Structure 1
Amino acid sequence: MFFSTAHLSFTTAFFLSGLAFAKLILLALEKGPLFPVPPNLIHFICVACFPIQLQKNPSPKNHNHFPKWVFPVKVFIFGALLLKVYDYKQYLPQNFLLALYSLHIYLELEISLTLIKSLVALTLGCDLAPQFNEPYLATSLHDFWGHRWNLMVSEILRLSVYLPIRNLRVKNSQWDPYLGIFATFLVSGAAHEILYFYLMREMPSWEVSWFFVLHGFCTASEVAVKKNTKLVQRWPLSPAVSRLLTVGFVFLTGVWLFSPQLIRNGLMERFTNEDFIFIDFFKRKLVILVGFFYKS
C-alpha cells in the first residue's frame, strides 16, 4: 500500500500477499510448490517469493513446444507495436482501445513472468515449470483456465479450492466436480477484487467478480456437456473453430467485465506510462554502454 507505482504495487500484491501466502498455507498441509521442501534456503525463498515452481514431473501436455523465436516476437509486438499505438489513442474507437488493453495485460504479464522465471532458473541452475502455455490456442474454457493460462495460479487453486471442495462430502456426488469448478472461480474472483483494491485503492465495483462467476458457470457447463458423448459426437467442432470460440469468448467477456474498471481508474495509463519510463531508462543505459565499448 506504500508503493506509488502500479508495477511495484502489483508485484508485491501478486507475488507476496497472494501467491507466497497461499504457498505457505499449502506447505503446512504438505502440499503445493514448497512441498517437498526445496533443497536449500535460497531455493525455498525463491520458490516462495516468486511465481515459480520447480519442475517435478514433466508432462508433454503442459510443455510449450513452440520454437524459441515466439517469445522475442511477443516482446517485439508489445514494445515496438502495441506501446506505439497508444500515441494515437485519442483517434481510436473506445472498443478498439479496450481490445488493446486486454492484449496489453496478457503480453506484459507473460513477458514479465517469463523473464523472472528465466532469471531465477539461471540463478538457481534448475528447471522451472512454465507459467503459460500459449493460451490463445486453447480449444475450450477448461483447456484455457486449467492447462494454458497462468499455470502457477491454476495449480494453487486446484490444490487449495477445487480438490478440497470435491473431497468435502463423505459420499461423492456427480455434482461435486461442477461445484468445485464454480467455487474455484469464486475464490479467484475474490482474489482479483483484493488485487484491484491494492492497485486502485477504491472499493470494489464487483465487475471482475462477475467475470469469474460467468466463466465458472460456463466452464462447469462445458465440462458437463462434454461428458455427454452422444452430444459431442453429434456436433463435433474442429480445433480451429473451438479456438476461435474460446478465445473470442474470453476476449469479449474480458473487454466487457475485466478491463473497464482498470480504465476508469486510470490504471492502464499508469501501467503504460511506467512501461515507457522503464524502456527509456534501458535505452539510455544501452546507449551509454555502446558508447563506452566504442570508445574502448
Structure 2
Amino acid sequence: MEEELKNFIKVWVSAIISISYCYYASTRIKAGVFRLLSVLPVCALFLLFPLFFSSVHFSGSTAFFLSWLANFKLILFCLDQGPLSPLPSNLSRFICFTCFPIKPQQNPNPKNQIPKWVFAIKVAIFGVLLHLYEYKQYMSPTVLLVLYSLHIYLVLEFLLMLVKVLVFITLGCDLEPQADEPYLATSLQDFWGRRWNLMVPAILRPAVYTPVRRLAERKLNSDQALLLGVFATFLVSGAAHELIFFYFNREVPTGEAIWFFVLHGVCTVVEVAVKKSTYVRRWWRVSPAVSRILTVGFVVVTSGWLFFPPLIRSGMIVRLASEALLSIDFVKNKFFYFWAKNL
C-alpha cells in the first residue's frame, strides 16, 4: 500500500506539471493543429500513467480521470471547445477542471441537492456489501451480479464525492452533481444522458456526437444524423472502456465492453426513434415505476452478460473488494498508530 501511495504521488505531481505546461505554453498557441501538436505529448503521457499502478482503484481512477476524460478535454481545448473553453481564470481551476470529472455550477438550486442522509445510507450499504463478500460462495450468480453492479456504482459515487469535496475546499465554488440517482432512470436515454456519470456525456457530446452528426447531415436527414451521432458516441465510449479494462488486467481486450455499449447504443437509438413516433406518443404510456424497473433491469442483465465477465475472469472484482478492505485496515492502523503515539 505504501509503495502504491508513493507511485500515486509521483504520477499526480507529474500530471499537474504537465497540465501547467498546457496552461502556460499551449494557451499561447492559436487554437488548431499547432496547439494540438503541443498537447499530444501530454496526452501520450496520460495514457501511460495507469501502468504505474498494480492497484485496481489507483489504476482505474487514473485511467478514468487522465487517460480518458483529461485527454478528451485537452483535445477539445485545442479546438477552443469543451469545459476548458473559455480558459479558466487561473492555474488551479485549469488543473482541477482538466484532471477531474467536474464542472462549476452556474445556477445552484438547493432543491436539487441530495440530502446528506442519503449519502450516509450509501456508506452503510457499502459496509454491508463488503461484509457480504465473505459469504459469496453461498450466493447465486444473479445475486453476485447485483452486488458487483452496486459495488461499482458506490465506489464511483464515493470517489466523485471525495473529488467534489477536495475541489470545493481548493476552489471554493459549487460544482454540478456528477450523478443523479441513476437507479431512478425511466429510459436508457435518461440513464446514459441525464443520470449516470454526467461528465462523460458532457465530454462525448462535443467530442463525438456533434461532429459526427454534422458530418452525417451532409448525406442524411436530420433524424438519421442524430441517431448516427448517438450510436457513434456509444461506440467511442465502449472503446474507452476497453482501454480501462486493459489497465485493470493488462490483457488483450476481448471486445465484450464494446459490444455492451454497441448493444446499448442500438437500443437507445431505437428508443429515441420510437419516442419520435406520433403514434407511440399518443397511444403508448408506461408508468414511471414500470419503466424504472425495465431500464435498471436491462442495464444490470446486459452488464452481467457482457460488461462484467472480463472483469470477473481477470479477478478484478475480487481485487476490488479485497483492496477496499485492505484500505480500511490501512487507515485504521495509521489512525491507531497516530493516536497511540500522541497519547
With the length of structure 1 as denominator, give the TM-score of the two structures. Answer: 0.93
Aligned-partner Cα distance in 2 for 1:31–1:114: 26
8 Å Cα contact 2:108-2:174 kept in structure 1: no
Q: % of aligned pairs identical?
A: 58
Residue matched to 2:330: 281
Residue matched to 1:73: 121
8 Å Cα contact 1:64-1:134 kept in structure 2: no
8 Å Cα contact 1:188-1:212 kept in structure 2: yes
Aligned-partner Cα distance in 1 for 2:154–2:177: 15
Secondary structure of the residue that 1:30 maps to in structure 2? coil
**Aligned pair in 2 of structure 1 residues 64, 115: CA closer, same or farther (>3 Å)?**
farther
Residue matched to 1:29: 79
User: Which of 84, 87, 91 in structure 2 is aligned with 1:41?
Assistant: 91
**TM alignment of 1:198-277, pairs within 5 A:** 198-277=247-326
Secondary structure of the residue that 1:186 maps to in structure 2? helix
**5+ residue gaps in structure 1?**
none
**Aligned pair in 2 of structure 1 residues 66, 126: CA closer, same or farther (>3 Å)?**
closer
**Aligned pair in 2 of structure 1 residues 117, 159: CA closer, same or farther (>3 Å)?**
same
8 Å Cα contact 1:14-1:195 kept in structure 2: yes
Q: Which has the higher helix share?
A: 2
Q: CA deviation at 1:194?
A: 0.8
Residue matched to 2:18: none
Aligned-partner Cα distance in 1 for 2:107–2:190: 19
How many residues end up aligned between the 2 structures? 291
Residue matched to 2:194: 147
**Aligned pair in 2 of structure 1 residues 135, 64: CA closer, same or farther (>3 Å)?**
farther
Aligned-partner Cα distance in 2 for 1:220–1:140: 12
Residue matched to 1:134: 181
**TM alignment of 1:37-116, pairs within 5 A:** 37-56=87-106, 64-78=112-126, 80-116=127-163
With the length of structure 2 as denominator, give the TM-score of the two structures. Answer: 0.81
Structural RMSD (CA)? 1.8
**5+ residue gaps in structure 2?**
1-50
Task: String of CA shifts for 1:214-245, please: whole Å, max 9, x gaps.
Answer: 00000010011011132132120111111111
Residue matched to 1:176: 225
Aligned-partner Cα distance in 2 for 1:133–1:120: 19
